[in-house]
Amino acid sequence: MKWFKRKKKQEEYLEEDVLIPEEPEMPKRPEDVIVDNCEQMIETAKDLEDKKSEYKVVTAYLNDIQLLEDLSEEEAADIKEAAENVVSLGNSRAELLKTEKKLTDVQYLQMEQNEADIPDAIKRLQASEDYQAAVERDMRYLETEKTKWMYNSEGIREEQESLRKLSIGIFSAFVVIFAILLVLQSIFEVNTQLIWMLVIFAAAVGGFFVYKRGKDDEEELKRSELNRNHTIVLLNKMKIKYVNAKNAVDYACEKYHVNNSYELNKVWEEYKEASKEQEKFLRMNEERDFYNAKLIKALRQYRLYDVRVWLDQAQALVDKREMVEVKHELVERRQNLRNTIEEETRSLKEKRKKTERLLAEENPDNRTEIMEILQSIDKLSKIE
């Protein structure tokens, strides 16, 4: 809105402050006026000829309608039957065309090209996906086993470290007790024989426990490491199988432009449905062509002006109300054409009289040529 106001102000400024001199119009010579009138009459005559031709066509259509309306029920029976079939098939065809396309043209073409292989391809893809899922489950299980044996080994190593510290503690305690008992026996002459027996027994029991537990841990560690390594080997094999299975799935998905076997199966089912619709459509076209030909044959025996136009107006042959509307439109169209023809004829006559008057008054040098043009216009427009 602002731009419009600004532009308006600029225009006012130009109008008020800048005076642009206007070129004076040169008065036309009578010869030029005559030529202009001739050119206008030629254009009017051509348009008048087109309007008259159209008027004849509309009249012919109205005559055809009158002829069809005057037919007896027996005469109109074949026409009506064929028209009913044309209308019915036309409606069914239109409804079929309105059906939303579920497949792209590329998908439909690919399914059509690989139609024989698709069912097996779906089964192979489903089997590959099932195998991939099974391998994934095995991989998860082996990963869990690997982690379990790894933690088991770490626990054994921690226990071995604890046993090492315990053995050092037992040995240290034995040395200290040995020294104490030695001092008591040497200096204080205490009878430590029983204590010696107890200490040696305790040291032997402790040492045996540490030794036995250590040997068990070594065996357990070897078994744990062996199981862990075996699990890693199996896991590596499973990874290779997973890669192969995934490649097979990815190749099939990429080939058919889907994400999984469910989508491929869905596209296949939609293709089969679309194929049935296509067959139905082709069959419907064949039937429509048959009844179109039958309708044309039924109409031709009455020598109508144009029989093929009724293929698009078959409803009017079935429904009288539709025929009334068609007839009403044609009557209005013919009336408008008649009014236009009368108006253009009157205008042409007036221009011709004006031109003849100017010719009589001015008597230009090219009078002969202009008279020939007027005669051509008379022949073209067919006016008196």
How distant, in Å, are the alpha carbons of 154, 222, 232, 333 from that of 225?
A: 10, 5, 10, 100
Query: What confidence category does residue 24 fall into, taking pLDDT thresholds of 50, 70 and 90?
Result: very low
- Report the alpha-carbon distance of residue 280 to residue 288 in Å, rounded: 12
pLDDT digits (tens, 9 = 90+) for 279-322: 887 888 888 888 888 888 888 888 888 888 888 888 888 888 88
- For the CA atoms of the chain, what is the radius of gyration? 54
Q: What is the pLDDT of residue 14?
A: 38
Q: For the chain, what are the domain ranges?
A: 107-257
| Helix, strand or coil, per DSSP, at residue 319 | coil
Percent of the chain residues topping a pLDDT of 70: 80
Query: What confidence category does residue 166 fall into, taking pLDDT thresholds of 50, 70 and 90?
Result: confident
Q: What is the pLDDT of residue 96?
A: 66
Give, as one character, the DSSP assignment of residue 114.
Answer: T
CA angle 344, 350, 356 (to 5 degrees): 135
* Token pair of 263 as six digits: 């989508």
Give, as one character, the DSSP assignment of residue 24.
Answer: P
Q: What is the mean pLDDT of residues 36-48?
A: 78
| Helix, strand or coil, per DSSP, at residue 23 | coil
**Residue 378, burial from CB neighbour count under 10 angstroms (0-12, 13-18, 19+):** middle
- Report the alpha-carbon distance of residue 113 to residue 121 in Å, rounded: 13
Q: What is the pLDDT of residue 20?
A: 44
pLDDT digits (tens, 9 = 90+) for 77-134: 888 888 888 888 888 777 766 666 677 777 778 888 888 888 888 899 899 899 999 9
**Domain 107-257 indexed as CATH 3.30.70:** no
Answer for the pair 82, 295: CB distance below 8 angstroms, yes or no: yes
pLDDT digits (tens, 9 = 90+) for 190-224: 676 777 788 778 777 877 887 787 788 788 888 88
| Residues with Cβ within 8 Å of residue 33, at least 6 apart in sequence | 358
